[in-house]
Protein backbone atom coordinates (compact mmCIF):
# COMPACT_ATOMS: atom_id res chain seq x y z
CA UNK A 1 0.00 0.00 0.00
CA UNK A 2 2.83 2.34 0.84
CA UNK A 3 4.42 1.79 -2.53
CA UNK A 4 1.18 2.74 -4.27
CA UNK A 5 0.91 5.93 -2.26
CA UNK A 6 4.51 6.87 -3.03
CA UNK A 7 4.00 6.18 -6.70
CA UNK A 8 0.88 8.41 -6.83
CA UNK A 9 2.65 11.18 -4.94
CA UNK A 10 5.55 11.05 -7.37
CA UNK A 11 3.18 11.48 -10.29
CA UNK A 12 1.60 14.47 -8.58
CA UNK A 13 5.01 16.06 -8.23
CA UNK A 14 5.94 15.42 -11.88
CA UNK A 15 8.35 12.50 -11.18
CA UNK A 16 6.32 9.97 -13.12
CA UNK A 17 9.31 9.17 -15.34
CA UNK A 18 11.52 8.10 -12.38
CA UNK A 19 11.62 4.56 -11.08
CA UNK A 20 9.80 3.98 -7.87
CA UNK A 21 13.04 3.44 -5.96
CA UNK A 22 14.57 6.70 -7.21
CA UNK A 23 11.45 8.60 -6.32
CA UNK A 24 11.44 7.13 -2.86
CA UNK A 25 15.06 8.23 -2.41
CA UNK A 26 14.13 11.81 -3.33
CA UNK A 27 11.19 11.88 -0.90
CA UNK A 28 12.85 10.05 1.92
CA UNK A 29 10.82 8.03 4.38
CA UNK A 30 7.18 8.91 4.19
CA UNK A 31 4.83 8.13 7.01
CA UNK A 32 1.17 7.92 6.21
CA UNK A 33 -1.27 9.03 8.90
CA UNK A 34 -3.60 11.76 10.01
CA UNK A 35 -2.81 15.44 9.80
CA UNK A 36 -1.03 16.75 12.90
CA UNK A 37 -3.01 18.73 15.40
CA UNK A 38 -0.35 21.42 15.59
CA UNK A 39 2.74 22.54 13.70
CA UNK A 40 4.89 21.01 16.38
CA UNK A 41 3.95 17.58 15.18
CA UNK A 42 6.44 17.96 12.33
CA UNK A 43 10.05 18.30 13.46
CA UNK A 44 13.31 18.09 11.63
CA UNK A 45 16.96 18.07 12.44
CA UNK A 46 20.05 17.67 10.38
CA UNK A 47 20.64 14.22 11.71
CA UNK A 48 17.08 12.97 11.84
CA UNK A 49 14.71 11.71 9.25
CA UNK A 50 11.85 14.04 8.32
CA UNK A 51 8.47 12.53 8.93
CA UNK A 52 5.80 14.13 6.76
CA UNK A 53 2.19 13.33 7.55
CA UNK A 54 0.41 12.99 4.21
CA UNK A 55 -3.26 13.31 3.43
CA UNK A 56 -4.03 11.52 0.19
CA UNK A 57 -6.73 13.00 -2.03
CA UNK A 58 -8.96 10.14 -3.15
CA UNK A 59 -9.73 11.91 -6.44
CA UNK A 60 -8.28 9.87 -9.31
CA UNK A 61 -5.37 11.29 -11.21
CA UNK A 62 -6.49 13.46 -14.15
CA UNK A 63 -9.99 14.10 -12.79
CA UNK A 64 -9.18 17.04 -10.50
CA UNK A 65 -11.94 19.65 -10.20
CA UNK A 66 -11.47 22.49 -12.70
CA UNK A 67 -12.43 26.09 -11.96
CA UNK A 68 -15.89 27.05 -13.07
CA UNK A 69 -16.04 28.77 -16.46
CA UNK A 70 -18.12 31.96 -16.41
CA UNK A 71 -21.18 31.78 -18.67
CA UNK A 72 -21.60 34.72 -21.05
CA UNK A 73 -25.09 35.82 -22.05
CA UNK A 74 -24.72 36.56 -25.77
CA UNK A 75 -28.30 35.92 -26.77
CA UNK A 76 -29.35 39.55 -26.36
CA UNK A 77 -26.10 41.16 -27.41
CA UNK A 78 -26.73 43.68 -30.17
CA UNK A 79 -23.25 43.42 -31.60
CA UNK A 80 -22.92 39.65 -31.90
CA UNK A 81 -20.89 38.31 -34.76
CA UNK A 82 -23.84 36.47 -36.31
CA UNK A 83 -25.96 39.59 -36.48
CA UNK A 84 -23.07 41.62 -37.86
CA UNK A 85 -22.57 39.08 -40.65
CA UNK A 86 -26.30 39.13 -41.43
CA UNK A 87 -26.26 42.92 -41.57
CA UNK A 88 -23.26 42.88 -43.90
CA UNK A 89 -24.87 40.30 -46.19
CA UNK A 90 -28.29 42.00 -46.20
CA UNK A 91 -28.88 44.26 -49.16
CA UNK A 92 -29.23 47.96 -48.40
CA UNK A 93 -32.83 49.13 -48.32
CA UNK A 94 -34.17 50.82 -51.42
CA UNK A 95 -34.04 54.62 -51.18
CA UNK A 96 -37.41 56.24 -50.50
CA UNK A 97 -39.13 57.90 -53.47
CA UNK A 98 -38.11 61.48 -54.07
CA UNK A 99 -41.70 62.55 -54.65
CA UNK A 100 -45.18 61.15 -55.15
CA UNK A 101 -45.53 60.05 -58.75
CA UNK A 102 -47.88 62.29 -60.70
CA UNK A 103 -47.83 65.13 -58.16
CA UNK A 104 -46.99 68.76 -58.87
CA UNK A 105 -45.03 71.44 -57.09
CA UNK A 106 -44.10 75.08 -57.59
CA UNK A 107 -40.47 76.09 -57.91
CA UNK A 108 -40.61 79.84 -58.14
CA UNK A 109 -42.87 80.60 -61.11
CA UNK A 110 -42.32 77.13 -62.64
CA UNK A 111 -44.78 74.24 -62.28
CA UNK A 112 -42.90 70.93 -61.96
CA UNK A 113 -44.18 67.37 -62.37
CA UNK A 114 -42.99 64.30 -60.41
CA UNK A 115 -41.91 61.66 -62.95
CA UNK A 116 -42.09 58.05 -61.66
CA UNK A 117 -41.38 59.24 -58.12
CA UNK A 118 -37.70 59.69 -58.98
CA UNK A 119 -37.30 63.21 -60.41
CA UNK A 120 -39.00 66.56 -60.91
CA UNK A 121 -39.38 67.72 -64.50
CA UNK A 122 -40.37 71.14 -65.84
CA UNK A 123 -44.05 71.51 -66.69
CA UNK A 124 -44.76 75.16 -67.44
CA UNK A 125 -43.86 78.71 -66.38
CA UNK A 126 -46.44 81.01 -64.83
CA UNK A 127 -46.48 84.79 -64.96
CA UNK A 128 -45.20 84.99 -61.38
CA UNK A 129 -44.60 82.68 -58.39
CA UNK A 130 -47.92 83.77 -56.90
CA UNK A 131 -49.76 82.51 -59.97
CA UNK A 132 -48.30 78.99 -59.63
CA UNK A 133 -50.76 76.47 -58.20
CA UNK A 134 -49.63 72.92 -57.31
CA UNK A 135 -52.94 71.50 -56.01
CA UNK A 136 -55.32 69.99 -56.87
CA UNK A 137 -53.60 69.86 -60.28
CA UNK A 138 -50.52 71.76 -61.30
CA UNK A 139 -51.47 74.80 -63.32
CA UNK A 140 -50.94 78.53 -63.71
CA UNK A 141 -53.67 80.77 -62.35
CA UNK A 142 -54.63 83.33 -64.99
CA UNK A 143 -52.95 86.68 -64.39
CA UNK A 144 -55.22 89.48 -63.26
CA UNK A 145 -53.27 91.92 -65.41
CA UNK A 146 -50.22 92.08 -67.64
CA UNK A 147 -46.80 93.36 -66.71
CA UNK A 148 -46.67 97.16 -67.17
CA UNK A 149 -50.42 97.41 -67.81
CA UNK A 150 -52.19 100.54 -66.49
CA UNK A 151 -55.83 101.41 -65.93
CA UNK A 152 -58.10 104.07 -64.52
CA UNK A 153 -60.60 103.19 -61.80
CA UNK A 154 -62.90 106.04 -60.75
CA UNK A 155 -60.17 108.62 -61.39
CA UNK A 156 -57.40 106.48 -59.80
CA UNK A 157 -54.47 105.84 -62.13
CA UNK A 158 -53.20 102.31 -61.36
CA UNK A 159 -50.49 99.92 -62.59
CA UNK A 160 -50.33 96.11 -62.49
CA UNK A 161 -48.15 94.87 -59.61
CA UNK A 162 -45.06 92.68 -60.02
CA UNK A 163 -46.99 89.49 -59.14
CA UNK A 164 -49.56 90.21 -61.90
CA UNK A 165 -52.21 89.54 -59.29
CA UNK A 166 -53.41 93.05 -58.37
CA UNK A 167 -53.16 96.81 -58.91
CA UNK A 168 -51.09 99.56 -57.34
CA UNK A 169 -52.30 103.18 -57.38
CA UNK A 170 -49.99 105.70 -59.02
CA UNK A 171 -52.06 108.91 -58.87
CA UNK A 172 -55.55 110.17 -58.08
CA UNK A 173 -56.94 112.42 -60.85
CA UNK A 174 -59.53 115.17 -60.47
CA UNK A 175 -62.21 113.12 -62.19
CA UNK A 176 -62.35 109.88 -64.09
CA UNK A 177 -62.44 111.91 -67.32
CA UNK A 178 -59.00 113.31 -66.49
CA UNK A 179 -57.36 109.87 -66.11
CA UNK A 180 -55.52 108.57 -69.16
CA UNK A 181 -54.04 105.04 -68.75
CA UNK A 182 -52.38 105.08 -72.17
CA UNK A 183 -50.34 108.15 -71.38
CA UNK A 184 -50.00 107.09 -67.75
CA UNK A 185 -50.98 110.49 -66.39
CA UNK A 186 -53.80 112.66 -65.20
CA UNK A 187 -54.87 115.10 -67.94
CA UNK A 188 -55.37 118.79 -67.39
CA UNK A 189 -58.63 118.73 -69.38
CA UNK A 190 -61.30 116.04 -69.50
CA UNK A 191 -61.94 113.81 -72.47
CA UNK A 192 -64.01 114.76 -75.49
CA UNK A 193 -67.58 113.36 -75.78
CA UNK A 194 -67.59 110.08 -77.76
CA UNK A 195 -63.80 109.66 -77.56
CA UNK A 196 -62.84 105.95 -77.25
CA UNK A 197 -60.04 104.34 -75.27
CA UNK A 198 -58.85 101.02 -73.86
CA UNK A 199 -58.89 100.83 -70.08
CA UNK A 200 -57.26 97.46 -69.47
CA UNK A 201 -59.48 94.92 -71.23
CA UNK A 202 -62.38 97.39 -71.14
CA UNK A 203 -63.28 99.37 -74.25
CA UNK A 204 -64.76 102.72 -73.09
CA UNK A 205 -66.12 106.00 -74.49
CA UNK A 206 -66.10 109.47 -72.93
CA UNK A 207 -69.48 110.51 -71.52
CA UNK A 208 -71.39 113.41 -72.95
CA UNK A 209 -71.00 115.42 -69.75
CA UNK A 210 -67.20 114.85 -69.87
CA UNK A 211 -67.23 113.67 -66.26
CA UNK A 212 -66.26 110.06 -66.90
CA UNK A 213 -66.16 107.04 -69.20
CA UNK A 214 -68.85 104.64 -70.30
CA UNK A 215 -68.06 100.92 -70.91
CA UNK A 216 -68.66 99.81 -74.47
CA UNK A 217 -67.23 96.26 -74.62
CA UNK A 218 -65.24 93.79 -72.54
CA UNK A 219 -62.28 92.46 -74.57
CA UNK A 220 -60.85 88.98 -73.96
CA UNK A 221 -57.67 90.53 -72.55
CA UNK A 222 -56.05 93.90 -72.22
CA UNK A 223 -53.67 93.05 -75.06
CA UNK A 224 -56.66 92.47 -77.34
CA UNK A 225 -58.01 95.97 -76.75
CA UNK A 226 -56.26 98.04 -79.37
CA UNK A 227 -56.36 101.73 -80.22
CA UNK A 228 -57.37 102.50 -83.78
CA UNK A 229 -55.32 104.25 -86.41
CA UNK A 230 -57.36 107.43 -85.95
CA UNK A 231 -57.11 109.30 -82.63
CA UNK A 232 -59.91 108.61 -80.21
CA UNK A 233 -60.81 105.21 -81.69
CA UNK A 234 -60.30 101.69 -80.28
CA UNK A 235 -61.58 98.17 -80.78
CA UNK A 236 -61.47 94.63 -79.34
CA UNK A 237 -59.51 92.03 -81.35
CA UNK A 238 -60.47 88.34 -81.42
CA UNK A 239 -58.32 86.00 -79.25
CA UNK A 240 -55.86 83.65 -80.95
CA UNK A 241 -56.47 80.90 -78.39
CA UNK A 242 -58.43 80.16 -75.25
CA UNK A 243 -57.28 80.15 -71.66
CA UNK A 244 -55.48 76.91 -70.71
CA UNK A 245 -55.40 75.62 -74.28
CA UNK A 246 -52.42 73.40 -75.22
CA UNK A 247 -51.01 72.42 -78.56
CA UNK A 248 -48.00 70.50 -79.89
CA UNK A 249 -45.57 72.02 -82.33
CA UNK A 250 -44.03 69.90 -85.06
CA UNK A 251 -40.74 69.55 -83.16
CA UNK A 252 -42.46 68.00 -80.13
CA UNK A 253 -42.68 71.27 -78.16
CA UNK A 254 -45.65 71.47 -75.82
CA UNK A 255 -47.20 74.93 -75.94
CA UNK A 256 -49.89 76.71 -73.95
CA UNK A 257 -51.96 79.79 -74.73
CA UNK A 258 -50.37 82.87 -73.15
CA UNK A 259 -52.23 84.95 -70.55
CA UNK A 260 -53.02 87.67 -73.15
CA UNK A 261 -54.65 85.04 -75.42
CA UNK A 262 -52.63 86.39 -78.33
CA UNK A 263 -50.60 83.24 -79.08
CA UNK A 264 -48.79 80.21 -77.60
CA UNK A 265 -45.73 79.94 -75.38
CA UNK A 266 -43.46 76.89 -75.10
CA UNK A 267 -43.79 75.09 -71.78
CA UNK A 268 -41.90 71.81 -72.39
CA UNK A 269 -39.89 69.94 -75.00
CA UNK A 270 -41.04 66.34 -75.34
CA UNK A 271 -38.61 63.55 -76.26
CA UNK A 272 -40.43 63.07 -79.58
CA UNK A 273 -43.40 64.67 -81.27
CA UNK A 274 -45.46 61.50 -80.70
CA UNK A 275 -45.02 61.84 -76.92
CA UNK A 276 -46.56 65.33 -76.86
CA UNK A 277 -50.12 65.07 -75.52
CA UNK A 278 -51.97 68.35 -76.09
CA UNK A 279 -55.25 66.96 -74.73
CA UNK A 280 -53.69 66.17 -71.37
CA UNK A 281 -51.29 69.09 -71.59
CA UNK A 282 -48.16 67.07 -70.88
CA UNK A 283 -45.24 65.11 -72.32
CA UNK A 284 -45.58 61.34 -72.01
CA UNK A 285 -42.55 59.47 -70.67
CA UNK A 286 -40.62 57.50 -73.33
CA UNK A 287 -41.34 53.77 -73.36
CA UNK A 288 -37.82 52.93 -74.59
CA UNK A 289 -34.53 54.44 -75.70
CA UNK A 290 -33.13 54.56 -79.24
CA UNK A 291 -31.48 51.25 -80.12
CA UNK A 292 -33.08 49.40 -77.20
CA UNK A 293 -34.36 45.86 -77.89
CA UNK A 294 -37.10 43.67 -76.48
CA UNK A 295 -38.08 40.01 -76.89
CA UNK A 296 -41.55 38.58 -77.41
CA UNK A 297 -42.62 35.26 -75.82
CA UNK A 298 -42.28 33.73 -79.28
CA UNK A 299 -38.60 34.74 -79.42
CA UNK A 300 -38.90 37.66 -81.86
CA UNK A 301 -36.33 40.42 -81.37
CA UNK A 302 -37.98 43.86 -81.42
CA UNK A 303 -36.48 47.36 -81.68
CA UNK A 304 -37.53 50.66 -80.08
CA UNK A 305 -39.55 52.66 -82.62
CA UNK A 306 -38.64 56.15 -83.78
CA UNK A 307 -41.39 57.73 -81.67
CA UNK A 308 -40.00 55.98 -78.54
CA UNK A 309 -43.57 55.02 -77.71
CA UNK A 310 -42.96 51.26 -77.87
CA UNK A 311 -41.20 48.47 -79.77
CA UNK A 312 -41.62 47.43 -83.39
CA UNK A 313 -40.73 44.40 -85.48
CA UNK A 314 -37.50 44.69 -87.45
CA UNK A 315 -37.31 44.48 -91.22
CA UNK A 316 -36.71 41.71 -91.98
CA UNK A 317 -38.11 40.14 -88.84
CA UNK A 318 -35.62 38.45 -86.52
CA UNK A 319 -37.06 35.36 -84.81
CA UNK A 320 -34.75 33.17 -82.77
CA UNK A 321 -34.81 29.44 -83.49
CA UNK A 322 -35.41 26.65 -80.98
CA UNK A 323 -31.66 26.29 -80.49
CA UNK A 324 -31.27 30.01 -79.69
CA UNK A 325 -32.32 32.32 -76.90
CA UNK A 326 -33.45 35.93 -77.46
CA UNK A 327 -30.99 38.32 -75.77
CA UNK A 328 -32.62 41.79 -75.48
CA UNK A 329 -29.59 43.29 -73.75
CA UNK A 330 -27.20 42.50 -76.59
CA UNK A 331 -29.88 42.55 -79.30
CA UNK A 332 -28.95 39.15 -80.75
CA UNK A 333 -30.14 35.56 -80.91
CA UNK A 334 -27.67 33.74 -78.68
CA UNK A 335 -27.03 30.02 -79.39
CA UNK A 336 -28.04 27.75 -76.52
CA UNK A 337 -24.94 25.82 -75.31
CA UNK A 338 -25.17 22.09 -76.13
CA UNK A 339 -25.03 19.68 -73.17
CA UNK A 340 -21.82 17.63 -72.84
CA UNK A 341 -21.89 14.21 -74.56
CA UNK A 342 -22.80 11.26 -72.31
CA UNK A 343 -19.92 9.08 -71.05
CA UNK A 344 -19.26 5.82 -72.98
CA UNK A 345 -21.08 2.77 -71.60
CA UNK A 346 -19.02 0.46 -69.40
CA UNK A 347 -17.59 -2.61 -71.11
CA UNK A 348 -18.73 -6.09 -70.04
CA UNK A 349 -16.24 -8.68 -68.83
CA UNK A 350 -17.20 -10.98 -71.72
CA UNK A 351 -16.20 -8.29 -74.19
CA UNK A 352 -12.81 -7.98 -72.48
CA UNK A 353 -12.27 -11.72 -72.72
CA UNK A 354 -13.28 -11.73 -76.38
CA UNK A 355 -10.76 -9.02 -77.14
CA UNK A 356 -8.02 -10.87 -75.26
CA UNK A 357 -8.66 -14.25 -76.89
CA UNK A 358 -7.63 -13.31 -80.44
CA UNK A 359 -4.48 -11.77 -79.11
CA UNK A 360 -3.66 -15.08 -77.33
CA UNK A 361 -4.21 -17.15 -80.51
CA UNK A 362 -1.95 -14.82 -82.49
CA UNK A 363 0.82 -15.31 -79.99
CA UNK A 364 0.37 -19.10 -80.17
CA UNK A 365 0.67 -19.01 -83.99
CA UNK A 366 3.82 -16.92 -83.72
CA UNK A 367 5.35 -19.42 -81.26
CA UNK A 368 4.50 -22.34 -83.62
CA UNK A 369 6.09 -20.56 -86.56
CA UNK A 370 9.25 -19.97 -84.52
CA UNK A 371 9.47 -23.65 -83.58
CA UNK A 372 9.01 -24.79 -87.20
CA UNK A 373 11.77 -22.42 -88.31
CA UNK A 374 14.17 -23.79 -85.70
CA UNK A 375 13.40 -27.37 -86.68
CA UNK A 376 14.17 -26.69 -90.35
CA UNK A 377 17.46 -25.15 -89.35
CA UNK A 378 18.43 -28.21 -87.33
CA UNK A 379 17.69 -30.52 -90.29
pLDDT of residue 359 exceeding 60: no
**Mean pLDDT value across residues 178-199:** 87
- Say which residues have a Cβ less than 8 Å from residue 81's Cβ, sequence separation at least 6: none
- Say which residues have a Cβ less than 8 Å from residue 15's Cβ, sequence separation at least 6: 23, 26
Give the model's pLDDT for residue 141. Answer: 82
pLDDT of residue 34 exceeding 70: no
- Say which residues have a Cβ less than 8 Å from residue 371's Cβ, sequence separation at least 6: none
| pLDDT single digits (tens) 236-292 | 999 999 988 999 998 889 998 988 899 998 888 898 999 999 998 888 889 999 999
Cβ atoms 10, 28 nearer than 8 A: no
Whole-structure pTM value: 0.51
Lowest mean pLDDT among 92-106, 186-200, 295-309: 92-106
- Return the higher-pLDDT residue of 101 and 262: 262
pLDDT of residue 33 exceeding 70: no
Give the model's pLDDT for residue 93. Answer: 75
Give the model's pLDDT for residue 4. Answer: 55
Lowest mean pLDDT among 3-17, 56-70, 173-187, 327-341: 56-70
pLDDT of residue 78 exceeding 50: no
Give the model's pLDDT for residue 236. Answer: 94
Amino acid sequence: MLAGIVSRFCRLLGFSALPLAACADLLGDVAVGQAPDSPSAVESSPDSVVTVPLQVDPTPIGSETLPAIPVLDVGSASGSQGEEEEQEQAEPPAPPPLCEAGSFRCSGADVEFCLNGSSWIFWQTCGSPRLCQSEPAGRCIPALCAAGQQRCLDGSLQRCDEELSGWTELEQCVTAAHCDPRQSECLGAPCEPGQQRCNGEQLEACSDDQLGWVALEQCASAALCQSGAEPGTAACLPPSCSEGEFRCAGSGALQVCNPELTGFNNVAQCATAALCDAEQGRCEAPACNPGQHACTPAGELLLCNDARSGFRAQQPAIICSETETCDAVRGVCEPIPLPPPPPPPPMDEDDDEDEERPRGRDRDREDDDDRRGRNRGDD
